[in-house]
């Protein structure tokens, strides 16, 4: 009997929008005469993910039919599950100068050409609808909604030819494409892989749930987001030091892999949890950890809304299997990590610290209790706050 391989990508195949060297030379020469559109930070992140196939089956920024289908039903126009709009927008004055078939150069913040788009469609960017449907709120105090409201009023769609997914990419040794990640899994002999999404240092509760998940699969992919985040989040270089030290000291390297996900954080809660799962499916993960308040911010979403949204799809329809974990903590009564499912202890026996309390302790140079975070991680965070 032939051994089964890794989970297929979403839609069946990995998209690759990066052109050949010969075509890149042609486009670089032509780009000097093309209209230029500077992409915002989130759009730059999305372009990189589109280019390398992380957002398969998408082959570019969404057209109007896909935009509305995704907002209304969490599906592309052809019925494929997809939870979040992925758009490229411009102001009305710029859109008025573009006709069907016009080529435009998409650039980064330093006017370097990332891609050439052949415009096939322009359409009104219904920002209120996107906010209400995808984020569950029209409140501009929501960091993701604020970005949507700051985008252009017209969306562009069309063929993308990517010259360079990202210039000056951070963490190049960890910045693996889906194809490279899959190859690394196969080299290790992994078939069933669980992915863990994070934008924070891993504390003891996260360590516990990742290791619980690892018990039922072949390998664990720790896959931190290193793109655009909101003010106040811990910088990615600090977080990467934490991940490296934690894995070196407390995980089995034969069954653990660290790689970065160069995405922008949307803070869209439930819908973003679906996005995070489908993207990790493209990287080769068969399972995906969904914890407490996944991808949430403030009080916009219920504690376990991001787990419940998976139930809106038919069993197996998404392909990737969500592993739903309750809030974990150190239980003094049990002398171990636990959750409401596994202990009958009261609040007085549970070690739980708010983010505010942890930040206050770290700013004073104090380590939080070892039951909450590993001392090596606390020391890295304390040092970063002194810089």
Alpha-carbon distance of 239 to 381, in angstroms, equals 9
- Is 222 among the domain residues? yes
Instruction: Find tokens 């809304």 and name the residue.
Output: 305
Using 50 as the pLDDT threshold, list the residues of the chain that sit under it. Answer: 1-2
pLDDT single digits (tens) 235-276: 999 999 999 999 999 999 999 999 999 999 999 999 999 999
Alpha-carbon distance of 356 to 60, in angstroms, equals 40
CATH code, domain carrying 78:
3.10.400.10
- Is 278 among the domain residues? yes
| Side-by-side strand order, sheet with 350-351 | 336-339, 328-331, 350-351
Do 148 and 232 lie in one domain? The reply is no
Name the residue among 160, 137, 202 with its Cα closest to residue 55: 160
Would you list the DSSP string of 80-135? -B--S---EEE-HHHHHT--TT-EEEEE-TTS-EEEEEEEEEEEE--HHHHIIIII
Do 210 and 156 lie in one domain? The reply is no
- Is 12 among the domain residues? no
Domain containing residue 106: 21-162
CATH code, domain carrying 224:
3.40.50.620
Do 254 and 379 lie in one domain? The reply is yes
Do 201 and 257 lie in one domain? The reply is yes
Do 352 and 297 lie in one domain? The reply is yes
Q: Which of 162, 187, 204 is the last residue of a domain?
A: 162
Contact 41, 264 (CB under 8 A): yes
Do 217 and 321 lie in one domain? The reply is yes
Do 127 and 210 lie in one domain? The reply is no
Q: Which of 200, 292, 359, 367 is catalytic?
A: 200
- Is 349 among the domain residues? yes
- Is 360 among the domain residues? yes
- Is 8 among the domain residues? no
- Is 7 among the domain residues? no
- Is 267 among the domain residues? yes
Do 153 and 183 lie in one domain? The reply is no
Q: Which of 42, 175, 199, 374 is catalytic?
A: 199
Does the annotation mark 200 as catalytic? yes
Do 220 and 138 lie in one domain? The reply is no
Q: What does pTM read for this prediction?
A: 0.96
Please give the DSSP secondary-structure letter assigned to residue 193. E
Q: Which of 162, 189, 223 is the last residue of a domain?
A: 162
Alpha-carbon distance of 70 to 276, in angstroms, equals 15
Does the annotation mark 249 as catalytic? no
pLDDT single digits (tens) 8-65: 999 999 999 999 999 999 999 999 999 999 999 999 999 999 999 999 999 999 999 9
How much is the pLDDT for 386? 85
- Number of domains comprising the chain: 2
Do 138 and 277 lie in one domain? The reply is no
Do 213 and 346 lie in one domain? The reply is yes
Q: Which of 114, 129, 162 is the last residue of a domain?
A: 162
Do 205 and 230 lie in one domain? The reply is yes
């Amino acid at each position: 009997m032939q051994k089964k391989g890794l989970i297929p990508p979403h839609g069946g195949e990995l998209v690759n929008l990066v052109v050949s060297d010969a075509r890149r030379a042609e486009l670089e020469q032509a780009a000097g005469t093309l209209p230029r559109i500077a992409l915002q930070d989130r759009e730059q992140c999305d372009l990189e993910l589109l280019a390398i196939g992380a957002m398969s089956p998408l082959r570019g920024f969404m057209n109007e039919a896909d935009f509305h289908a995704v907002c209304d039903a969490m599906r592309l126009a052809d019925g494929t599950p997809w939870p979040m709009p992925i758009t490229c927008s411009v102001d009305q004055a710029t859109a008025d100068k573009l006709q069907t078939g016009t080529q435009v150069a998409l650039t980064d913040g330093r006017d370097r050409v990332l891609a050439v788009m052949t415009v096939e469609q322009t359409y009104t960017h219904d920002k209120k609808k996107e906010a209400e449907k995808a984020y569950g709120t029209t409140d501009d105090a929501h960091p993701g909604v604020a970005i949507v409201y700051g985008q252009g009023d017209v969306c562009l769609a069309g063929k993308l030819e990517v010259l360079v997914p990202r210039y000056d990419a951070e963490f190049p040794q960890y910045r693996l494409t889906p194809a490279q990640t899959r190859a690394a899994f196969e080299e290790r002999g992994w078939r069933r892989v669980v992915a863990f999404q994070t934008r924070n240092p891993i504390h003891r509760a996260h360590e516990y749930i990742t290791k619980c998940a690892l018990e039922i699969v072949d390998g664990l992919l720790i896959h931190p987001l290193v793109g655009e985040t909101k003010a106040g989040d811990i910088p990615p270089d600090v977080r990467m030091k934490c991940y490296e030290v934690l894995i070196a000291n407390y995980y089995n390297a034969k069954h653990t892999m660290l790689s970065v996900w160069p995405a922008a954080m949307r803070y869209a809660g439930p819908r973003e949890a679906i996005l995070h799962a489908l993207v990790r499916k493209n990287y080769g993960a068969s399972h995906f950890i969904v914890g407490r308040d996944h991808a949430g911010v403030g009080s916009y979403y219920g504690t376990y809304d991001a787990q419940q949204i998976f139930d809106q799809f038919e069993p197996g329809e998404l392909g990737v299997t969500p592993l739903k974990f309750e809030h974990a903590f150190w239980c003094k009564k049990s002398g171990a990590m636990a959750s409401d499912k596994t202990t009958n202890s009261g609040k007085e026996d549970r070690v739980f610290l708010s983010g505010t309390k942890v930040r206050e302790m770290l700013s004073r140079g104090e380590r939080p209790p070892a039951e909450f975070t590993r001392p090596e991680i606390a020391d890295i965070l304390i040092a970063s706050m002194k810089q």
